[in-house]
Amino acid sequence: MTTPPALLRPRDSDALRAEIRRLAGSTGVPVVFGGEVAADTLLLSEFCGVRTNGLRGLSVRRASGLGGQVIDSRRPASVADYGSALSITHHYDGPVLGEGIRSVLAVPVVVGDRSRAVLYAATRGRDPIAGRTAEAMLQAGRRLATEITIRDEVDRRLRLLEAAASPATGGALVDELRAVQAELRALAETSADRHLGESLCALGDKLTRALSGPPAPDAPRLSPRELDVLLQVSLGCSNQAAAQRLSIGPETVKSYLRSAMHKLDAGSRHEAVVTARRYGLLP
């Protein structure tokens, strides 16, 4: 995957490995493997069920073989008999057939308009891979695409933060930092990677302390979700917009907001934000 890694970003290969292990356990397919795409070349790096080392570290070029085909088309593709398939090139027959693989399904992990990884399910017989197994593969591709999208957005936000911290001044910088903090917490809630989510929340808390110092000793104890909602409100979001950003319902947003207002003894949304900032709970 070609996006330059940020300091916070875990290796995308870890997420790929987790999906491959999940597929192997849930589908019972004999062979599941995959790799990341960089500069239009797929590097196979993660495997379950292989008997040889022929596929390990194999580089698959764009439009070559089944994997190269799905990189190019950004659509899943399959063959029931790899060795005799007419729909693909046969640049990789040696390692594929040496593994005894015949039936293969390849699913690209598409983010934006690019294939960022490829997942494979394979058997050593000629029965096509379809039905529940194929659907599980497609779901895994979508999950991984969502996770990479989140990580890309986190990287983008951190780059914005770095840019804002250099020449920017005063209110513009504070507003940018507040927006970044809110987005980091929102992204943390949608990440499938628990450790990444915890790291994002911790980073958001550091931003709050950098802007407003530690919370006042007499500050009310707001839940993380109440703070998340107040952060979105502080950016001018409506209940509907806050719900979309936090992936919860508008009524749930209202409930958290009412609870936060009660704890802060505030009579309005605006007063709740002002009071939370005075206590050092919000940046």
Question: For residue 28, what are the β-bridge partners?
Answer: none
Question: Is the separation of the CB atoms in 230 and 276 below 8 Å?
Answer: yes
Residue 248's pLDDT band (cuts 50, 70, 90): confident
The most confident of 7-11, 21-25, 278-282, by mean pLDDT: 21-25
Q: Which residue has the tokens 């980073």?
A: 203
Instruction: Provide the CATH number for the domain around residue 64.
Output: 3.30.450.40
Give the range among 29-33, 35-39, 160-164, 268-272 with minimum mean pLDDT: 160-164
pTM, two decimal places:
0.62
**Mapping DSSP to helix (H, G, I), strand (E, B) and coil, where does residue 115 land?**
strand
Burial call 207-216: b when 16+ CB within 10 Å, e when fewer: bbeebbeebe
Report how many domains make up the chain: 2
Residue 169's pLDDT band (cuts 50, 70, 90): very low
Confidence (pLDDT) at 132: 94
Residues 95 and 178 in one domain: no
Pairwise CA distance, residues 43 & 57, whole Å: 6
* Average of per-residue pLDDT values in the chain: 85
Model pLDDT for residues 249-258, shown as the tens digit of each residue: 999 999 999 9
Pairwise CA distance, residues 38 & 173, whole Å: 35
Residues 6+ apart with CB under 8 A from 213: 280
Residue 161's pLDDT band (cuts 50, 70, 90): low
> CA-based diameter of the chain, in Å?
74
Residues 23 and 135 in one domain: yes
**153 membership: H or E segment, kind and range:** helix 131-165
Structure tokens at 31: 């062979």
Domain of 22, in residue numbers = 12-147
Instruction: Provide the CATH number for the domain around residue 252.
Output: 1.10.10.10
Q: Does residue 158 belong to any structural domain of this protein?
A: no
Residue 58's pLDDT band (cuts 50, 70, 90): very high
Burial of 112 per CB tally in 10 Å (0-12, 13-18, 19+): exposed
One-letter identity of residue 9:
R
Residues 142 and 176 in one domain: no
Confidence (pLDDT) at 162: 61
Confidence (pLDDT) at 41: 95
Share of residues in the chain with pLDDT > 70 (%): 83
